[in-house]
Amino acid sequence: MGSGSLISLILAAVAFSAGGLAVAKFLTKGSTNSQKGQTYECGVPTSGSPWNQFHVGYYLFALIFLIFDVELVFMYPWAVVVKKVGMPALFEILVFVFILFMGFLYAHKKGALKWM
Amino acid sequence: MLSFENISHGLHNWLSAIMSETPVVLIELTLVALAAITLFAALGLILVYMERKVAAVIQIRKGPNRVGPMGIFQTAADTLKLVMKENFMPDSVDKFLYKLAPFVVMITAMLILAPMPFAQGFQIWNINIGVFYVTAISSISVIGVLMAGWASNNKYSLLGAMRSGAQIVSYELSAGFAILSIVALTGSLNLNDIILSQQDGWWIFKGHIPVWIAFVIFMIAVTAETNRAPFDMAEAESELTGGFHTEYGGMRFALFFLAEYINIFIVCGIGATLFFGGWMPFHIGHWEGFNHVMDYIPSSIWFFGKTFFLIFVIMWFRWTFPRLRIDQLLNLEWKYLLPISLFNLLLITVIAIKGWHF
């Protein structure tokens, strides 16, 4: 099978999920209640909206992740040919990783990897 | 010799003989979809039952034992219960994203099945960048999780989703480096080529201690990526009730739950393929007789046996280690696992270049 199977898999996932939801809709009957639609936060009335600021730490981790993820993408083609090319490929990636690791140590030193 | 390859070729030839090309393709695509849905349902039923039984054995109790012999119909009964529940949606949610999120998670789980080699010649799509495809698609599921957490308009959900996002993207890196080390040893991204390179022994035995280190890092990373205990920060019940799916109920919750178990199966299948040879039987170098005896066990049994063993190990983790705190979790990844796995990858590269492996 070729790439057409991906379309078939996507359709299978949608059909499976939508089918389950449709069956559930067919089998159940809803009830109404004035408090039913409220946000569930363990029974206490909610205060404030969650759609506001959150901890900056997540953002810093996401930025560092982005750098390393791009590095990972660069290393995929390298890993395929490294056995054939031999030692020169290893030295080149060592230079690359060294520069990247300096940046990582800088981020570490700046406290970007520290929670709170 | 009856193999999956012969069966699929025979089916294709038979269908081509009796009708034109377009209906053949359509029928084959339908068969693929039906097989994938069946696999989904079966895996969901088996894995939930297995999880509960393993937990029961470890805690010296009986586990589910009422519905059917040994409680084997327990998951079916639970599924029925979830289907019978109302498709309920709270008033304050972002309706479009709330409804879309379970679909995103399910579609990603389904798409990763495409390059999985379930048995010899039994693969939906033999893609030449299989490993890369799996890592690329599996990182989409974090979008579904963030979508669900944000759309729920609930503080527990948002916190759970943010934690889950930080955790999944962080551990993706060390999992990626562990996978790359096997790619460096084989020089191919095709999952079938990786399996064939293990004809004279699995990488875990051929590659000395560095491959063991890569395997341990891989297992830790995928446990974190699938949000399993001890890394289940995303839905730490005692802190965040349900994490990102607090506001989901009934069938929508069941979809998240199913996708989670399918993801466990997928990562364990990838681990079994990379380190334990996938469907490749247990072979030792030049022991021809021994290898022939091992070949009599069907390849699908080897694949599923290895995969379910790794799933068992992940379930075992859950009852062995206490849950980590969010800062400990991120420290573990960024200060220990990432440098170790990067260094280990370079070490394995030297082994691959010098040919020091068996």
- In-domain check, residue B20: no
Range of weakest confidence among A34-43, A92-101, B120-129, B300-309: A34-43
Does A20 fall in a domain?
no
Interface ipTM: 0.86
Look at residue A116 and tell me whether its pLDDT is greater than 80: no
> What value does the mean pLDDT of chain B take?
85
Question: Which residues lie across from B119 on neighbouring strands?
Answer: B122
Q: How sure is the predictor about B139, in pLDDT bands with cuts at 50, 70 and 90? A: confident
Q: What is the mean pLDDT of residues B125-142?
A: 87
Whether A2 maps to a domain, the answer reads no
Q: Is residue A73 part of a domain?
A: yes
What's the confidence (pLDDT) of residue A74?
87
Q: Is the pLDDT of residue A91 over 80?
A: yes
Give tens-digit pLDDT for B10-64. 877 888 888 877 888 888 888 888 888 888 888 888 998 998 889 899 999 988 8
Q: Is A10's CB within 8 Å of B241's CB?
A: no
Confidence at residue B236, expressed as pLDDT on a 0 to 100 scale: 67
Q: A101 in a domain, yes or no?
A: yes
Q: Inter-chain contact B84–A24, Cβ cutoff 8 Å?
A: yes
The radius of gyration of chain A from alpha carbons, rounded to an integer in Å, stands at: 25
Rounded Cα gap, residues A114 and B252, in angstroms:
36
Residue type, B303: F
Q: Does residue A100 belong to any structural domain of this protein?
A: yes
Q: How many domains does chain B have?
A: 1
pTM given for the model:
0.90
Residue B245 in contact with residue B258, Cβ under 8 Å?
no
Structural domain includes residue A64: yes
Q: What would the pLDDT profile of B202-256 be if each residue is shown by its tens digit? A: 888 887 888 899 999 999 999 988 888 788 776 666 677 777 888 787 888 888 8
What is the distance between the alpha carbons of residues B201 and B353, in angstroms, rounded to a whole number?
A: 19
CB-count exposure of residue B276 (10 Å: 0-12, 13-18, 19+): buried
* Chain B CA closest to residue A105: B335
**B161, B244 contact by CB (below 8 A):** yes
Q: Minimal Cα–Cα distance from B319 to chain A, Å?
A: 27
pLDDT, average across residues B113-132: 85
Mutate to test the interface with B, among A3, A14, A21, A51 (most CBs of B within 10 A): A21
- Work out the burial of residue B289: count CB atoms within 10 Å of its CB; fewer than 13 is exposed, 13-18 middle, 19 or more buried: exposed
Domain assignment present for residue B132? The answer is yes
The reported pLDDT for the residue numbered B309 is 92
Give A55-71 pLDDT, tens digit per residue: 777 788 888 888 888 88
- pLDDT score of B234: 67
Count of domains forming chain A: 1
B12 to chain A: closest CA residue: A1
- Within 8 A by CB and 6+ apart from A47, the residues are none
Q: Give the other-Cβ count within 10 Å of B297's Cβ.
A: 12
Is the CB of A9 less than 8 angstroms away from the CB of B124?
yes
Domain containing A95: what range?
Answer: 56-116
* Cα separation, B210 vs B220, whole angstroms: 15
Q: Which domain holds residue B308?
A: 84-354
B8, B11, B26, B29: which to substitute to probe chain A, counting the most A Cβ within 10 Å? B29
Alpha carbons A44 and B241: distance in angstroms, whole number: 13
Of B2, B41, B26, the C-alpha closest to B255 is B41
Contact B268, B274 (CB under 8 A): no
Residue B346 above 70 pLDDT?
Answer: yes
Tokens matching residue A51: 């759609």
Asked whether residue B39 is domain-assigned, the answer is no
**pLDDT at residue B1 is higher than 60:** no
Domain assignment present for residue B338? The answer is yes
Which residue of B15, B155, B185, B239 is the best one to mutate when testing the A interface, meaning the one whose CB has the most A CBs within 10 A? B155
Spatial contact of B341 and B178, defined as CB atoms under 8 Å apart: yes
Q: From CA A67, how far away is CA B315, in angstroms rounded?
A: 32
Residue B146 resides in a domain: yes
pLDDT of residue B217: 92
Instruction: Please indicate, yes or no, if residue B332 is contained in any of the structural domains.
Output: yes
Residue B49 counted as domain residue: no
Q: What are the φ and ψ backbone dihedral angles of B119, each rounded to 5 degrees?
A: -160, 175
Round to whole Å and give the CA distance between B65 and B44.
18
Q: Which helix (H) or strand (E) holds B279?
A: none
